[in-house]
A and B are shown apart, each in its own frame.
Chain A
Amino acid sequence: MKINKIFVLILVLFCTAIFAAACGEKSADNPEGRQLRSISTEDLRQNIGSDDWVVVDTRVNDAFNGWALDGVSRGGHIKGAVDFAAVWLDVDVEQKEDKLGQILAAKGISPERHIVLYDANAEDAAKVADYLKEKGFTDLYQYDVKEWADNPDLPMESYPNHKLLVPASWINELIANNNNGKPFKVFEVSWGEESEDYIKGHIPGAVHINTDEMEEPPIWNRVSDERLQQFAVNNGINVDTTVVLYGADSMAAYRVQAVLKYMGVKDVRVLNGGLPAWINGGYDVETKVNEKMPGDTFGAQVPVNAGYVIDLPGAKEILADKEGSKLVDIRSWDEFIGKTPGYSDITAKGRPAGVVWGHDIGDYRNIDATMRNAGEILAMWKEWDITPDQKLAFFCGTGWRAAEVLIYADVMGLQDIALYDGGWYEWSDDPANPVETGEPVR
């Protein structure tokens, strides 16, 4: 009898456990439990811009910038929206939670406000909502941005030159369609004859560009215009070639993009977010080494866009025009104030006299290494009286970080922009050039 009672008890406990598990699973599958409140287009239109409402674009950065992805009829973001991409929740970075928390705070996404999360694929908003709920957010709405985009009377914003930065899907289509018969090249850009990044895996068909092909010691400026012409021919690049550049970290790609634009290549793009964006998009990489296929001619006299990259005299002209121009320092604060030279091969510390601080490159990138929201970039610049109506030239140590910012400025549609190629390395090499250190008086 005693054994029977124990058996019955075990059976009851077992059934209870199975019942509880089934209920939990049903709850998870139950769309009712997961579903956000929806908001109508009219309500959204009325509340956008109110202090107690935040509209959040949860799509990939490319969609925010201007690409019409996931069946949306107009590219870009709802005017007034901030960005918090669902894919940011999947990045593998140190101190991720702290960084995500800082991002939420910086964009005003707080539990005290009404939060509208919008997407176009019925997934991103829900993913971000789940994350925010864990953080204690309760007042959440979802919205399908296709409704907004379909109404041309409702304002959407996209960056004038957003096509300089491309999503992985665009490259995939380019390769699949062979660019509809028009010439194109895909390059992985990094330093070194044998690049570990390239060897580990690259976009199928991509050829490696060693940055030493287009810049040289002692100060690592771009090589002469004649050698740049040869560099283009060696890599089969013509002014009419659609050139796609990327890297594991795309800074080198931006450097080459800036120089190719200076040379006159009409269509140069960089993969937004670098190789991780390709891999996270679910696309395959290959390890087969693809050899360069030289061309016959570049097709123009280098440089076609001489003002896109300037040298020391140009930098001095900018400094002389205090109101209309700014020479913007894209280095760390410690480099700017002269606490550190920032490089093992530069000993001088400080900055050219009269430059303004434009923040280090990390402040221009989202957590997934895509381009930061233009509104936030402009707000960052405004603190240092850097405005888009001025002539802006960007510099760093040897022109890599500054090139990335130059391209972002180009994406944003700024017209009068340039890269000061020599940077701090060139400026500090001549003791006659005036130098400042310490925190500037503002």
Chain B
Amino acid sequence: MKPVLIANVILNLVQAAALAPALFLEHYSTKKMGVARYLIYKQRVFSETVFTPDIMMIIKVAVAAGLIVLILMLIYFLPRHKNGGSLLTNVFVSVLVNLLAAGFVFSGTGSQLHAYHYFLTGGLVILAAQYIKLILKFYSRA
């Protein structure tokens, strides 16, 4: 179980740090012209390469599907763990994280951020890490 513990610690650190670059860039986007112009340039590059409309559609579908699966899991596990339990907690947190990610990806307000693609990347990293933590939780119970 020790490797699982270590993996969880690493994943928690990754989640904690994932949004730091985006927050830094967003903060300075209104203070430094060089940062503002850099972000406008990167927005253009990301939209044409990494986050094309097709890829964004795949991301939206994946996030929505993940949310549905997690909600179904929550519905399944809730009656079986009436007194709580770490697995249920993990599923619940995963639902919340997925819900936030879905809100960001589907709403139009996120794209108003100067460092939007950095927030998107950070958010997807947090979501992926959460899924891995959930899988590890299942694995450690098995």
Contact = CB atoms under 8 A, between A and B. Distances in A.
A191 interface: yes
Chain A binding site: helix, strand, loop or mixed by DSSP? loop
A191 B44 CA distance: 21
Chain B binding site: helix, strand, loop or mixed by DSSP? helix
A217 B39 CA distance: 11
Contacts of A343: 34, 37
Interface stretch (A20-28, A107-115, A192-200): A192-200
A220 interface: yes
A95 interface: no
A343 B38 CA distance: 9
A343 B34 CA distance: 8
A345 interface: yes
A343 B37 CA distance: 10
A219 to B, nearest CB: 10
Interface in A192-242: 192-194, 196, 211, 217-218, 220
A218 B41 CA distance: 7
A345 B45 CA distance: 10
Interface in B2-54: 30-31, 33-38, 40-42, 44
A345 B40 contact: yes
Contacts of B40: 217-218, 345
Interface centre among B31, B38, B41, B44 (most CB of A within 10 A): B41
A177 interface: no
A192 B44 CA distance: 20
A424 B128 CA distance: 41
A417 to B, nearest CB: 26
Contacts of B41: 217-218, 344-345
Interface centre among A192, A196, A345 (most CB of B within 10 A): A345
A84 to B, nearest CB: 34
B31 A344 contact: no
Interface string A337-365: 00000011100000000000000000000
Interface in A218-272: 218, 220
Given A192-B36, A344-B35, 12 more contacts: A191-B33, A192-B30, A196-B31, A211-B33, A217-B37, A217-B40, A217-B44, A220-B37, A344-B34, A345-B37, A345-B40, A345-B42
Interface of B: 30-31, 33-38, 40-42, 44
14 contacts: A191-B33, A191-B36, A192-B30, A192-B33, A196-B31, A217-B40, A217-B41, A217-B44, A220-B37, A344-B34, A344-B37, A344-B41, A345-B41, A345-B42
